[in-house]
Structure 1
Amino acid sequence: MIRVISIANQKGGIGKSSSVIEIASVLSIEYNKKVLVIDLDQQRNLSKYIGANIEKDPKGHNLIPSIYDVLTSDAFITDAIQHLPHFDAISASEQLSKADRTFMDSDDMYLLADIIDSIKQLYDYIIIDNGPSRNILLTMSYVASDEIIIPSECDEGSIDGIIAIYSDLKKLRESRNKLSHAIVKGLILTRYEKTSIHSIALEEDLTEIANIIQQDIGYRPFVLPVRKSIKMSECKGFKQSLQEYDKNGNAAKDYRKIVKTLIKEA
């Protein structure tokens, strides 16, 4: 059965796009899974890192439709899918910045879920990269997803982002129409340093949050670190994942452990 996973935190620059790439790459390379990644962030970092085609024609239209084109019914989702070496992708667009003004109907929160439903037979996993904004796109992602994975760095803003996500998910799950069935599947400590007081403190904070979630819904998210690695930024310049660029490095191993846990707890 297909699993739809959102990578989210309402804070930028904490490794969301990198986590999408690594998790998708491990699923494909190590487990031979068919994976689609969707870039739902107007900054398009994921699209750029993986080498997706985001070029425009002279009139300013995307040469290959973006997720925005699909959400606005200007393109079929099958026309937006780009086939990359290890997984498929749908790119983002700067037009996502006007999503809150474009998708104002109450039913619009179901758009992404309906789109995914139309292609779910093609994939084992669909992984959504979300921007840091608390907007209609993030709500669409929550409604469409089965699971949420939250990367976090060693600062108070990241913790606030986790709490905000869980609060929003709880409201959607407990709403009259039960708008989302997604659970927080895991918490990732990015750029982890074993000897850092800040990393140790964050790990303790995330463990406490995981325990609170378990008390609330009876399910405890995994809490796993990804060790800091300069190779993480280097590999992006080559449009490669760590699994290709530095497979034996600590960060690559950590992401393989995360995916192993993800599959084991399915």
Structure 2
Amino acid sequence: MKTYSIANQKGGVGKTTTVHNLAAGIYMQTQKKPLLIDLDPQCNLSMACGLMPDQVDHSYFDFLRGADFEDVGHDVGFADIIPANHDCVLAESWIENKRRGRQVVIQKRMEELAGYEYDYVFFDCPGNLGFVTVNAMIAASKVLVTLQCEYFALEGMAKMQQEIQAIEEDGKSVELCGIVPTLWNGTTLNYEVRNEVRSQFKDIFYEVRIRRNVKLGESPSHGKHIFDYAAGSHGAEDYAALSREFLRREQ
């Protein structure tokens, strides 16, 4: 079971869109369901999978506090998901207030899933580097960054590196395994930032670029991934290519 945190220190850079559609692309190509875990109290991944927060009785926050996987997991066709609901806004302070082991709360709960035959698990992290995101990075040990190739991207990558270094100094192993350029519109600035980041992270910088696409923005409101919603769109084309590149790199 390979586990990945999809992370960035800011919101609005395509984390949820990437978790949703990368998982769907993997399923379409392998017929193996990934497990998705929605760690963001905004619940966007859960809603994109057709689960409304006010109808989710048991969330990942319940799982953290000891609920069985069978009580929190949902089958959404192309994947299984531990969803979020509005109670999850309490998770950050709940972890922070633990006296011992607050960096490994999620890691310890993930041990329950060792007997399940998931090839891939993806955490959709909040848009910050708080306790929940750090927990997810430690539990996953692999971090995939979605990067909007604009001005603040370089600063964001520096903060991510600092956080990973701090985690490693605490004796935990975390690998930055991939950087995926998202919200691409082909501007000069896009190319300049991409080239700068790729020069520093040559081996892990993905060649696929996820272009801005209206259909990618529309599909979550219909509770569908891009392949079901608009199979002929640029968004479907890009996430199919990302899925192939991901599988090639990670198998």
Confirm or deny a common fold (TM above 0.5).
yes
Whether 1:69 and 2:52 are equivalent positions in the alignment is: no
Of all paired residues, the percent bearing the same amino acid is: 21
State the Cα deviation string for residues 199-235 of structure 1 (Å, max 9, x = none): 2122112213314xxxxxxxx2133311121111121
Cα distance in 2 for residues equivalent to 1:205 and 1:33 = 36
Shift of 1:128: 0.4
Match of 1:112 in 2: 106
Where do 5+ consecutive residues of structure 1 fail to align? 57-61, 212-219
State the Cα deviation string for residues 59-108 of structure 1 (Å, max 9, x = none): xxx52x100111122x2222100111111111113333333431233312
Cα distance in 2 for residues equivalent to 1:126 and 1:197 = 35
Figure out how many residues of one structure are paired with residues of the other and give that number: 246
Shift of 1:142: 0.9
Q: Is the contact between residue 52 and residue 82 of structure 1 (CA under 8 Å) also seen in structure 2?
A: no
Q: Which amino acid aligns with 2:69?
A: I
Shift of 1:237: 2.2
Whether 1:129 and 2:124 are equivalent positions in the alignment is: yes
Q: Which amino acid aligns with 2:9?
A: Q
Cα distance in 1 for residues equivalent to 2:12 and 2:85 = 19
Shift of 1:54: 2.4
Q: How does 1:1-266 map to 2 (within 5 A)?
A: 2-56=1-55, 62-63=56-57, 65-73=58-66, 75-103=67-95, 104=97, 105-122=99-116, 123-175=118-170, 178-179=171-172, 181-194=173-186, 196-211=187-202, 220-223=203-206, 224-266=208-250
Q: Is the contact between residue 9 and residue 158 of structure 1 (CA under 8 Å) also seen in structure 2?
A: no
Cα distance in 2 for residues equivalent to 1:151 and 1:32 = 25
Match of 1:214 in 2: none
Q: Is the contact between residue 149 and residue 188 of structure 1 (CA under 8 Å) also seen in structure 2?
A: yes
Cα distance in 1 for residues equivalent to 2:108 and 2:70 = 14
Cα distance in 1 for residues equivalent to 2:92 and 2:53 = 22
Cα distance in 2 for residues equivalent to 1:101 and 1:231 = 36
Shift of 1:166: 1.9
Where do 5+ consecutive residues of structure 2 fail to align? none
Q: Which amino acid aligns with 1:67?
A: Y
Cα distance in 2 for residues equivalent to 1:209 and 1:165 = 14
RMSD of Structure 2 on Structure 1 (CA): 1.8
Give the TM-score normalised by the residue count of structure 1. Answer: 0.86
Cα distance in 2 for residues equivalent to 1:193 and 1:201 = 13
Q: Which amino acid aligns with 2:143?
A: I
Q: Is the contact between residue 219 and residue 226 of structure 2 (CA under 8 Å) also seen in structure 1?
A: yes
Q: Is the contact between residue 52 and residue 89 of structure 1 (CA under 8 Å) also seen in structure 2?
A: no
Q: Secondary structure at the match of 1:225?
A: coil
Q: Which amino acid aligns with 1:115?
A: R
Q: Is the contact between residue 6 and residue 124 of structure 2 (CA under 8 Å) also seen in structure 1?
A: yes
Q: Which amino acid aligns with 1:258?
A: L
Tell which deviates more after alignment, 130-139 or 153-162: 153-162
